[in-house]
Chain A
Amino acid sequence: EPEVTQTPSHQVTQMGQEVILRCVPISNHLYFYWYRQILGQKVEFLVSFYNNEISEKSEIFDDQFSVERPDGSNFTLKIRSTKLEDSAMYFCASSREGYTTSGPPEQYFGPGTRLTVT
């Protein structure tokens, strides 16, 4: 069964450094998402992406964050200058269906990248 993959599984970086988290969505999916989960807290939406454009982003997704689909298979999340509070598990997700008036579609999540900022 096809699945979303993410690399690396764990990334340790120093405060102020740039990190790029990588995701390979399911191959026939066209809608992509990033979420994060700070330890012990809820899963939070960061951004949705379709047709090489951001569809929607949350208040968390400030100028320090960017997303890109550099080729036909990868979807990346870049954090330009990491802060201690960026430490979290970052989940990539994709969906085959798009956003409709019936609401957001079911999404398929990757296993996550644990980012630790020291």
Chain B
Amino acid sequence: SQQGEEDPQALSIQEGENATMNCSYKTSINNLQWYRQNSGRGLVHLILIRSNEREKHSGRLRVTLDTSKKSSSLLITASRAADTASYFCATGLYSSASKIIFGSGTRLSIRP
């Protein structure tokens, strides 16, 4: 897999349901971030999880990180129409201090 591959590529769920998106990466990381991008807009930072952390919460968001499997998941609980967007994981590598590498994203659609 490439550094930062999200799965699934697209996800459509009913409003109120939970949405889970996964990210796999290849090279060891020092942190992993999740961003949201509404259509045609900039990226919004959601959450950052460090390599020594396993789980983090922020409001309706829950992120897990499994460094042994080189994977992370983003769970959005009780989804709302406003959650419709693309979600990207972005990894920070030990070989680079400032650069983050974005995945290809999951397009999430929330049906009313």
Give me the interface of A with B, judged by CB distance under 8 Å.
4, 31, 33, 35, 42-45, 48, 55-56, 58, 91, 93, 99-112
Contacts and interface: CB of A to CB of B under 8 A. Distances in A.
Interface stretch (B10-18, B64-72, B96-104): B96-104
B6 to A, nearest CB: 10
A106 B48 CA distance: 7
Interface residues of B, number: 29
Interface of B: 4, 29-31, 33, 35, 41-45, 48, 50-51, 88, 90, 92-94, 96-105
Nearest to B48: A106
A15 to B, nearest CB: 25
Contact of A106 (B33, B88, B99, B103): B33
A91 B31 CA distance: 21
A44 B33 CA distance: 15
Nearest to B44: A109
Contacts of A106: 33, 45, 48
Contact of A45 (B43, B44, B100): B100
